[in-house]
Structure 1
Amino acid sequence: MGQDKLKVLQFFDLNKVLLPTCANVIRDLWNGFFDLYTAIRDPNTDPKMFKKDAKMWLKIFLTPSTEILNSDNFVQSLYRSNDVTPYMHILVFHIHEFIEKHKKWGLKSFSCAPVENKNH
């Protein structure tokens, strides 16, 4: 399922299931996550740039609702701060530290996937 998840993340046409305004924002969110995922796997990733990109991704994730003055238009927010998971917190606020400190081994050495797979 790993590569199939990446295909969905990259190529799924959100306009077929969502309103165009919402689909565009979610596409930006998904594209940002895919870029972070790719950067984590790249041994040449700059930790400072990763930190900046991760914070920008979180900002998109937490974009608040906005009302356009003198109009009936209202843009609904995507998510709230309560929707941020511990994994997302680590991605945004700690992965850049791991990239910097453990560049020698790479982040794959910290994968918990074998343990998680065993528990399933």
Structure 2
Amino acid sequence: MNELHIHFEFFHSGRGNWNWTSLMGPDKEILLQYFPVSEFISGSRGIDIENLWREFYRLYKILRKSSHTDEEILEFEKDAKNWVRTFCRPTIGQMNSAAATPGLYRKDDVTPYMHVFAMHIPYFLRRLKEKGLSLRLFSTCSVEKKNHEQVKLFFGGTTMGGGKKTKPVVYDILVFENRQIFYLINDIPNEITCNNINILDNG
């Protein structure tokens, strides 16, 4: 990391928990482009993961272009879908055999962001091209900030690292909001008012 001129470290955040340095956009780009993943993950798996990083960076730079041709959008669509397929590639051949090609990640590890990246971004590029626009003119930073603040408010802290619960964070939020909607529709009070009754002893 020092060779890439990026400050990154793990540190104790209290109560025995580990935390890590948050990286800004430019630092993330440098990592995707130059970090030697294969030096830390041995074998073909490390090489494949490093190639995933490099390919994602290449696709990201395509999205950042000020304009796209129809051919570029079509090529991006094919490459983005192939990138997701490679990400969740299963083990090829007999497990634990010398001839087997190890898989990378599970299909369950594919995030909604990756789905949008491969399945919806090409559509956005085509519609924006019709209007002489491009994705680089837009930002979702405010949406991401709102999401972060909502999670932080709901749980009293961030869920960096996935939290400690087995179910996704969004599941708990949706359950909470669904209950609120149910109470509202059925006119059910969502709080209890306590009344104290004082009984005077007249005897």
Range of TM-score over shorter length: 0.7 to 0.9
Contact 2:59 2:80 in 1 (8 A): yes
Write the mapping of 1:9-20 to structure 2, written as runs, cut at 5 A. 9-20=32-43
Counterpart among 74, 81, 95 of residue 100 in structure 2: 74
Runs of 5+ consecutive residues of structure 2 not aligned to the other structure:
1-23, 150-203
Which structure ranks higher in relative contact order (CA pairs < 8 Å, sequence separation ≥ 6)?
1
Distance 1:108 1:40 in 2: 7
Counterpart among 144, 164, 171 of residue 116 in structure 1: 144
Contact 2:38 2:49 in 1 (8 A): no
Residue 26, structure 1, aligned to residue 49, structure 2: yes
**Which secondary structure state, in structure 1, belongs to the residue aligned with residue 122 of structure 2?**
helix
Count the aligned residue pairs: 119
RMSD of aligned Cα (Å): 2.1
Structure showing the higher helix proportion among its residues: 1
Counterpart among 109, 117, 127 of residue 83 in structure 1: 109
Residue 2, structure 1, aligned to residue 25, structure 2: yes
* Larger of the two Rg values belongs to structure: 2
**Which secondary structure state, in structure 2, belongs to the residue aligned with residue 111 of structure 1?**
coil
Partner residue, 2:80: 54
Pair 29,64 (structure 1): closer, same or farther in 2 beyond 3 Å: same
Q: Which moved more, 1:108-117 or 1:11-20?
A: 108-117
The one-letter amino acid of 2:135's match is: L
The one-letter amino acid of 1:47's match is: I
What is the TM-score normalised by the length of structure 1?
0.85
Partner residue, 2:61: 38
Partner residue, 2:134: 106
Deviation at 1:109, TM superposition (A): 4.1
Runs of 5+ consecutive residues of structure 1 not aligned to the other structure:
none
Distance 2:75 2:100 in 1: 33
Q: Which runs of 4+ in 1 moved over 4 A?
A: none
Deviation at 1:63, TM superposition (A): 1.5
What is the TM-score normalised by the length of structure 2?
0.53
Percentage of identical aligned residues: 36
